[in-house]
Amino acid sequence: SEFNFTEPVESSEGVLGMFNPDLEFPGPGEEIISRKGKTLDRKEFERMLDEFYELRGWDVETGLQKKETLERLGLSDICEEVEKLGLIKS
């Protein structure tokens, strides 16, 4: 989505800041599930975030898209514009 290119999350702090523990999710049978009061170990979260970035071909240190990943996905036409915005790791 456009959000990925115009609003980069450059660290786990950015991701953690976006996390809303009051957010409810639909569960089995459309039962509402709440994460309120739940916690996640920061080191485990960092490990999972690194794995998430790595699996998607993103730069693990910055969370930015990698140019070669966009090219591999057939998105080379947007690389120049995204690079000008500083939202891609070359």
Kindly state the average pLDDT of the residues 79-84: 89
Is pLDDT larger for residue 17 or for residue 46? Answer: 46
Taking the whole predicted model, whether its pTM rises above 0.75 is answered as no
Rounded to the nearest integer, the mean pLDDT of the chain is 78
Domains of the chain, residue spans: 2-89
Give the whole-angstrom CA distance, residue 44 versus residue 40.
7
Written as one string, the DSSP assignment of the chain is -HHHHHS---SHHHHHHH--TT-EEE-GGG-EEE-TT----HHHHHHHHHHHHHHHTB-TTT-PEEHHHHHHTT-HHHHHHHHHTT-EE-
- The tens digit of pLDDT for each residue in 54-78 reads 999 999 998 899 999 999 999 999 9
What's the gap between Cα 75 and its chain centre?
18
